[in-house]
Structure 1
């Protein structure tokens, strides 16, 4: 006796059984494939939130870079002004030192004349 005959004795038709298994397989496949698709809107919302967060961070980075650029420009201007000020100070110091040396020579000359006058 074959398996088909045994099933028919129990009152089951092989075609009905095959349709039942095919239907069960289809339902199982629909659940396995379709189930995750139900979560797609939630996942898309999460992705949108993450994209918004990244865009916000990018905007913050751009603002920070703009501030840093301005700070670097200001530092460059300060360094240039400092160099110019130092150059002017050195020039003034050199001129002042030259004037002091000239004054010292004149004072020495006056001191020698006084010594000559006193020695006469």
Structure 2
């Protein structure tokens, strides 16, 4: 039975994809909008809503973009994998910066991990037994 090990670069990319998925889930369901209404007798009602409740299910497309992007290098090999890794890291950093005032901060850990992964060698140290 052949055992195929995952090198550090690919392992970090898997972690980055998991973090991007977690960021999408958390930013979509975490209560992040609050509204206060006051009736004619002066009673206040405070309502909290998640991003998906406010924006609607179509916003799932936006939340899935970083997840899909982080998955791309996991399906590539060779030079395409290396090039895609750099592009993915750059896109995630751009997404985190562009959305810094809203959901971008949730994607910062994934962006950092994907950026770190670009500096790891493609092949790890191989031992011969």
> When the two structures are superposed, what TM-score results if normalisation uses the length of structure 2?
0.25
Structure (1 or 2) with the larger CA radius of gyration: 1
Q: Which structure's residues are more often helix, by fraction?
A: 1
Higher relative contact order (CA 8 A, sep 6+): 2
